[in-house]
Amino acid sequence: MSETGGRAIGVETVGMTKIFGSLVALEDVSIRVRPGTLHALLGENGAGKSTLVKCMMGFYQPTRGEMLVDGQEAAIRNPREASDAKLGMVYQHFTLVPSLTAAENLVVSRPDCPAVIDWAHEILALEDFMARMPFRVPLATPVANLSAGEKQKLEILKQLYLDRRFVVLDEPTSVLTPDEADEMLSLLKGMTQRGELTILMITHKFREVTAYADEVSILRRGRLVGGGLVGEMTTDEMARAMIGDTAIRERAARLEHGQTSVVLDLSAVYASDDDGLPAVTSVDLKVHAGEIVGIAGVSGNGQSELIEVLSGQRDLDDGRILVRGQGFEPVRDQMDRLKVFSLQEEPLRNSAVPRMTVAENIALRTFDKPPITSLGWWLSPGPMRKKARELIDRYRVKTPSTEEPMENLSGGNVQRAVLARELSGDVDVLIVANPCFGLDFASVSEIRTQILEQRNRGAAVLLVSEDLDEILELADRVAVMSGGRITLQAPIGATDRTAIGHAMAGGH
């Protein structure tokens, strides 16, 4: 299907290879994205997806290999040349300037931005542009005040405003509710079908691939391991290509507990965000023993603040937290006494000291108790290392030694080390936030199994996750947070993706 009349352009990589020092991040990858298609790029974290697109966009210089744009060989040496060739990319982390308005963001991104800006004229031109677009965002609002979905739309609008004909989208729906995601993807799909645009979409959601993509390419460990027309592949084939022969730990079976008592009880919890605005509003939540309550929601709806309140990183404005009927204040000795543990998101930032050793990090909860401490003040490194070695073996943390600084470990191993610290004792309450974000399949499976085992053992688990699939898989009961409130609470069997999606968007 050659769209000579269309504006969309096709891009091809030929034998793309990128080597960082001794690490081969990308090896001989040749993919062909035909004009006017929506092409999905699948792969685990670390499979080389971002390296590939960054080579295409001129952020990295490939060690070997070349690129064809519209069938012509093209050297893309830096992002500016990519933009000259009408290639653009929407990053997962937004590249909008928060304090600038949408209009300012658009105008300043233009290469021919005039030295003195005639705003009256520009606003008219922008309104005219917006009128032609499938979706629009308010122009005069500072980006910081836009919702995540609006920011994502603005990012895509920016690419179109800059007249890009080939756009890479890096996990474009990760901050959207399921409904928003469907709306946006079908609009984009429409644009590719009309030949206005070619899209290469990085994703790990099979649902989006099968519903919207025309073709798919799958990367594993830097190599192209599969691909083709989406209609001709099953999700099973795609998953197998993505994971390869990695042994995945069998998920623990879910034990039925019957009626159990309430362990963690939040009533009318209020908290504010960093700007002093209300972030958590009147949250009531009960977690029973042997139960996982999953809090779903688009990020930025108060989940992080709630977790921070529970882990002592943020003040409680109002309300009560009870653990087994006793008032709970998240300070060290109460966590210890009431057996409250947590797996935080971004563990290297929230639950570990990056420059302390693995052994020291593992001992953070126990260093002031025997056998590490004697006489109440004397710390002996011997027992600390011994304990660390035990846990490193038991939780399969890959580290050169117990004395390695935590920051040198990979993301999965940092999470395993934190897991070892938090879960090795007797756990009554476990607070978990996005535990598998950015981890590979094997680690994800391992960590989810551990969480499930704690539940089976009788711990009350509060799981906050932006990954709805994770909640659907793990939770016994689901609660949805939107705008700082719980908008839905239901047993997992009594609700579905659609109802949860509506609640995530603020509906009831």
Residues that bind other proteins (CB under 8 A): 78-80, 83, 91, 93, 95-100, 104, 107-109, 113-117, 119, 272-276, 315
CB-wise, 78 or 234, nearer to other proteins? Answer: 78
User: Considering the complex, what minimum distance in angstroms separates the CB of residue 281 from other proteins?
Assistant: 16
Do strands 278-288 and 318-323 pair parallel, antiparallel, or not at all (unpaired)? unpaired
Residue 57 CA neighbour count, 13 Å, CB half = 19
Pairwise CA distance, residues 346 & 264, whole Å? 23
Long-range CB contacts for residues 54-63, cutoff 8 Å, separation at least 24:
55/13, 55/16, 55/18, 55/26, 56/11, 56/13, 56/16, 56/82, 56/87, 56/168, 57/82, 57/87, 57/88, 57/89, 57/168, 58/82, 60/18, 62/16, 62/17, 62/18, 62/26, 63/17, 63/18, 63/19
Minimum CB distance to other proteins, residue 147 (Å)? 18
CA–CA separation, 225 and 242 (whole Å): 8
Specify whether the CB–CB gap between 198 and 167 falls below 8 A: yes
Q: Which of 202, 204, 200 is nearest to 239 (CA)?
A: 204
Which is nearest to 390 in space by CA: 374, 372, 375? Answer: 372
CB nearer to other proteins: pick between 105 and 192: 105
- CB-nearer residue toward other proteins: 94 or 367: 94
Q: Which is nearer to other proteins, 162 or 262 (CB)?
A: 162
Q: Is the CB of residue 40 less than 8 Å from the CB of residue 217? A: yes
CB of residue 313 to other proteins, shortest distance in Å: 12
Q: Are 52 and 42 contacting, i.e. CB atoms less than 8 angstroms apart? A: no
Nearer to other proteins, 288 or 314 (CB): 314
How many alpha carbons lie under 13 Å from residue 268 in its C-beta half-sphere?
2
**CB of 272 or CB of 489, closer to other proteins:** 272
Residue 482 and residue 506 in contact, taking contact as beta carbons nearer than 8 Å: yes
Q: How far is the CB of 116 from other proteins (least distance, A)?
A: 5
Residue 274: CB minimum distance to other proteins, A: 4
Nearer to other proteins by Cβ, of 87 and 107: the residue is: 107
Q: Which of 6, 495, 70, 121 has the alpha carbon at shortest distance from 294?
A: 495
Q: How far is the CB of 83 from other proteins (least distance, A)?
A: 8
First-to-last alpha carbon distance for the chain, in angstroms, is: 45
In whole angstroms, the minimum distance from the beta carbon of 368 to other proteins comes to 27
Report the residue number, 80 or 320, with the smaller CB distance to other proteins.
80
Q: Is 285 helix (H, G, I), strand (E, B) or coil?
A: strand
Nearer to other proteins among residue 88 and residue 294 (C-beta): 88
Q: How far is the CB of 309 from other proteins (least distance, A)?
A: 12
In whole angstroms, how close is the CB of 276 to other proteins at the nearest point? 4
Cβ at position 105, least distance to other proteins in Å: 8
Residue 3 and residue 49 in contact, taking contact as beta carbons nearer than 8 Å: no
Distance CA 279, CA 131 (A): 34
> Which residue number, 20 or 119, has a Cβ lying nearer to other proteins?
119
Q: Smallest distance from the beta carbon of 482 to other proteins, in angstroms?
A: 23
Instruction: State which H helix or E strand residue 223 sits in.
Output: strand 223-229
CB 63 within 8 A of CB 19: yes
Amino acid at 140: A
118 or 496, CB closer to other proteins? 118
